[in-house]
Structure 1
């Protein structure tokens, strides 16, 4: 299931969703509703294109959004600008738009009206004699001993612009392990995974294929011995060249409350996650770090307080952890404030977080 995100933009500015990395240039106040939807691969292929990112169904009040920024996964986008474009799919058909701009991370396009939007590659990108790598990511999920089976590490090789939350939503009885995930991957190449301290790795080799849902399947499964506390995981390409390595410290052996289901962030919590981007500054990390923290305008404080009771009652511990990590990353709160909250009950954590002096 793909959960709809909701965000009320208070006025003109540039706003980024922390879950999907979508960026919206707003000309005026408007409520955004958006979610990922399934690509019609046959429709895209008939036009000589391939998906280059998730497909988003976006709704907003008319003429509130002027530009849409879609995250790409190209390492050298300037060299491949002729094969990247944006598809706009409506009930009346499909059209392809040339980007206004391609930055290091996003493709920017003018928006007239909203429906389904996504990035596509021209098929010729994949027939080059010199295959170009993309920015990829390695995602890990730990499954403790379950129904008598050995504990396992499930490893995913994906494009960098696959939203992590979309993958989490499909995992059950596992715990997400936050590791440095960036690596370079090449479509069609074969990769192997090394992990000498474990019982078995399956399969021995796997082909990397660029897919954007609806289902995300693990690339490798590492079967662990019950006594294993940490492992070194290495991903190699078909020439035995290392593309990623990390010493993974495994979580506790019992399934925690956050491991029983990787539930999605509710639309209300997703909007709260976006609060640090309010104010019109371009929402990239380097710019957010230079802007004053705790700077919500008065009307935004009022909006937060209006949902305070429901937030405290309904927000879960996993969502609170995700929220605190995001706010710390964007320097909205500091590590001392995080430490003062961690030992509290779920409701008290929520209460302290929403009552902070923004």
Structure 2
């Protein structure tokens, strides 16, 4: 891929979009009721961000992502009828024909919801597309299996110039609420206020963003959110120096329950000491907790506890090392090239390859080139040299992946 396009993508966080599935080779009869059961293969799409100072990066592929901090706009072209999913927002579109979709999250009108006895159950998406091109829309929800047994808990708000209408879903799956699309504008999942009280537990996520500092305590911003809040939306609002820490995020939260965060080894300050879990639907997201650390690097374990003191989430994370001023990551990696080739294990190499492919640092052809090498040393040499040629940002991602997959080797190579 084009390294310049890749560099711009990295600046806006973990911004990967997939269209899922790809319908290019699929004949689709939209008159059939079982359209949602079509099984076709996944398609990857390149992304770009737009530089508000005037320099646009462009892509010749079928879709892209544009970031306008602090908000994110999404756009891709659907090549024909089929079922497509954006893995950033988890929205699913059942398309009747070729079209271009543009969508972003916008602010809910709380007065409209309150007058109807409803509460936002996720982001409100403003979706634009040519008329009669979208057949169905699948909106992600955050409900547990038990909550889905509560009849009438979920519905969909359709907001247009004429006001708000409430639509009953065609179907509610384990992950999405499915609705027929009369025309596009504002769409979002909503809760019935009374029935929400019958089951207050939702599938949630814990998101971590690390901010290093040379003069002040480093800090981790901790977000406790519903599962259907897109990571891309939260990432776009972080400071430029904040790094998303990838870690298992799944958790169960209960509205009104109080939660606290704890750190090992002990941190300097955690604020607040405890807070209630509340529904957040955007478009603005603020940290639930701030953890001020005693160190800028190393391993820490973060724990989320409920008000009874039970651990409901725990993860050990390797803090991203701050690159020394004036020393690019590719140069730092070059100084330990021979040691990396000698010491990295084949299982770790395989995991690094998977991460590099997922982040679009390498393509399928480059991955196969590494795999075709006979010896472990040749594979390691191919990996490190291929990534180094792609520049400092790509190399930084390889260093972060090595920290996660083999912290001992990461420490031995002194790559902090």
Residue 42 (str. 1) matches residue 87 (str. 2): no
Report the counterpart of residue 132 of structure 1 in structure 2. Answer: 200
The TM-score normalised by the length of structure 1 is 0.72
Q: How many Å apart are 1:255 and its aligned residue?
A: 8.6
TM-score, with normalisation over the residues of structure 2? 0.63
2:41 corresponds in structure 1 to none
Q: Is the 8 A contact 2:105 2:282 kept in 1?
A: no
Q: Give the Cα–Cα distance (whole angstroms) in 2 for the partners of residues 327 and 215 of structure 1.
A: 28
Greater relative CO (CA pairs within 8 A, separation 6+) = 1
1:62-89 Cα shifts (integer Å, max 9, x gaps): 1110000000000125313411000000
Q: Secondary structure at the match of 1:165?
A: helix
For residues 325 and 118 of structure 2, the distance between their equivalents in structure 1, rounded to whole angstroms, comes to 43
- Specify whether residues 29 and 72 from structure 1 end up closer, same or farther in structure 2 by C-alpha distance, changes over 3 A only: same
Matched, 1:32 2:101: yes
**Structure 1 counterpart of 2:188:** 118
* C-alpha distance 341-89 of structure 1, shift in aligned 2 (>3 A): farther
**Mapping of residues 1-358 of structure 1, within 5 Å:** 1-76=70-145, 77-128=147-198, 131-145=199-213, 148-172=215-239, 173-197=241-265, 198-226=267-295, 228-254=297-323, 324-325=357-358, 339=383, 341-346=386-391
Q: Which runs of 5+ in 1 are unaligned?
A: 258-320, 350-358
Check the 8 A contact 1:49/1:121 in 2, yes or no: yes
Using the TM superposition, give the Cα deviation of residue 242 of structure 1 relative to its aligned residue in structure 2, in angstroms: 1.1
Which segments of 5 or more consecutive residues in structure 2 lack a partner in the other structure?
1-69, 327-353, 371-382, 395-416
CA contact (8 A) 1:144 1:255 kept: no
TM-aligned CA deviation for residue 133 of structure 1: 1.1
Alignment partners' CA distance in 2, 1:121 and 1:333: 47
Give the CA RMSD over aligned residues: 2.8
Superposed displacement of residue 345, structure 1: 2.1
Q: Distance in 1 between matches of 2:365 and 2:358?
A: 10
1:117-153 deviation digits (Å, cap 9, x = unpaired): 000000013433xx4310100000111115x321111
Q: How far, CA to CA, are the matches of 1:335 and 1:96 in structure 2?
A: 48
Give the length in aligned residue pairs: 281
CA distance in 2: counterparts of 1:101 and 1:154, whole angstroms: 37
Check conservation: 1:199, 1:223, Cα contact below 8 A. Answer: yes
Q: Is the 8 A contact 1:144 1:254 kept in 2?
A: no
Any idea what SS the aligned residue of 1:230 has?
Answer: strand
Asked if the contact 1:49–1:122 (Cα under 8 Å) also holds between the matched residues in 2, the reply is yes
Residues 235-257 of structure 1: CA deviation (Å, up to 9, x unaligned): 01111111100011111034999
